[in-house]
Amino acid sequence: MAMSRLVCVGDYEQYAEHNLPNAVRQYFNSGANYEQTYADNVAAFKRYRFRPRYMRDMSERNLTTSLLGHDVTSPIGVSPMSMCRLAHPDGEVALAKACESEGSCFCLSMAATSSVEEVGQAAPGCTRWFQVHVLKDRDMMRRMVQRAQRAGFTALVLTVDCAVHGKRYKDLRNQFSLPPHLKLSNFEEELKRAKSVVATGQSKEEWGRFVNQAFSPAHTWQDIQWLKSVSHLPVVAKGVVTAWDALEAVQHGADAVWVSNHGGRELDCLPATIDALTEVCQAVGDKTEVYLDGGVRSGLDILKALSRGARAVYCGRPALWGLAKDGEAGTSDVLQILKEELSVGMALAGVKDVQHVPTELVVHQSFYSAL
């Protein structure tokens, strides 16, 4: 697709739509079942309206904040995503380097095609978090967590919304699987440990069986304390969309709560994350930090989420579309676009500081239908 200049996230989405191989594009840009949640994540942001305060001095605005005690230059981060080298040969390394250059937080997936060691070496100045699933083999899980800690990762992000994988019709139709030239790098060392598998030359089928059998559906809130027992890193509970799960997470020791529905990829018919955010924030109050991802397509979406109570807002697919276009540079450009849109939105809405975005700045559109 010919474009003179890509100026918004939608432009990058269109580029990826026209340039990624069909199966790869559908793997990243799809949701579970009939994709109701996948679509509503984006649509829901459009149902919120700004109520700005004008005639304020907006000559200076602050976008810096801190996440679990670590300073970042904006509240915009990159969500964990599996198999990013499908989109670009540099994969997660490029994402981390882009976050390093933009001062953003990067969360690496356990199912990444770059290892914690590779990412740590490539982007040592980046605020890096490691997303984990509960594994059947606790020794394997402990080793991965401790590898991340040694590689300089500063938090663990425990996925709580994925006891099993959702059913994605597009992947089933495409018979999607990881190409043989790629590996789930964080599992590679563990695969070599497995006595039943030869250390080199593993087949695609062997990799698939090994990884699929590794994940455990027997996860509980007690796993937060288990993670804290094997590392000194704070734990973020990711995948929370209700007040009761938010309170469970905090009561069991979570240091932060991440409102997410896995991009609509696991359980369909969940609420859009922007709709779930207020309930979660009201439940936890000031007990813990709250983050959000899902459906973010502009800096105005980020401003809306900050107003509804999020401390930071993460994007997955937009960063990946930037990666597909131009690796590290493409992802950096997407992050810069979001940051500029956030800054402009703040100026036009009368907000000087991302750490102090008033709740009353944003209302649901139903506010006006009731007038």
Residue in the structure block whose two tokens are 């009939």 = 34
Report yes or no: 94 and 124 within 8 Å, Cβ to Cβ: no
Residue 238 assigned to a binding site: yes
Residue 359 assigned to a binding site: no
What one-character DSSP code corresponds to residue 286?
A: T
Residue 53 assigned to a binding site: no
* Beta strands in 11-96, from DSSP E residues, in sequence order: 48-50, 65-67, 70-72, 76-78
> What are the tokens at 309?
């109570």
Residue 166 assigned to a binding site: no
Residue 134 assigned to a binding site: no
Residue 168 assigned to a binding site: yes
Residue 260 assigned to a binding site: yes
Report yes or no: 224 and 249 within 8 Å, Cβ to Cβ: yes
Q: Can you give the three-state secondary structure of 92-124, one letter per residue? A: HHHHHHHHHHHCCEEEECCCCCCCHHHHHHHCC
Distance between CA atoms of residues 179 and 233, nearest Å:
33
Residue 292 CB-half CA count within 13 A: 31
Residue 47 assigned to a binding site: no
Contacts 24+ apart (CB under 8 A), 146-149: 146/230, 146/231, 147/115, 147/116, 147/117, 147/186, 147/189, 148/108, 148/116, 148/233, 149/231, 149/232, 149/233
C-alpha to C-alpha distances, 329 to 4, 189, 297, 325, nearest whole angstrom: 17, 30, 18, 9
Pick from 352, 258, 347, 357: nearest CA to 307: 357
Residue 345 assigned to a binding site: no
Residue 15 assigned to a binding site: no
C-alpha to C-alpha distances, 298 to 11, 73, 76, 137, nearest whole angstrom: 12, 17, 11, 40
Residue 296 assigned to a binding site: yes
Distance between CA atoms of residues 76 and 208, nearest Å:
33
Residue 77 assigned to a binding site: no
Residue 364 assigned to a binding site: no
Residue 309 assigned to a binding site: no
Residue 164, phi then psi, degrees to nearest 5: -140, 170
Residue 109 assigned to a binding site: yes
Residue 114 assigned to a binding site: no
> Could you give the residue numbers annotated as active site?
262
Which residues define the annotated binding site? Answer: 27, 109, 131, 159, 168, 238, 260, 262, 265, 293-297, 316-317
Which residues define the annotated binding site for FMN? Answer: 109, 131, 159, 238, 293-297, 316-317
Which residues define the annotated binding site for glyoxylate? Answer: 27, 168, 260, 262, 265
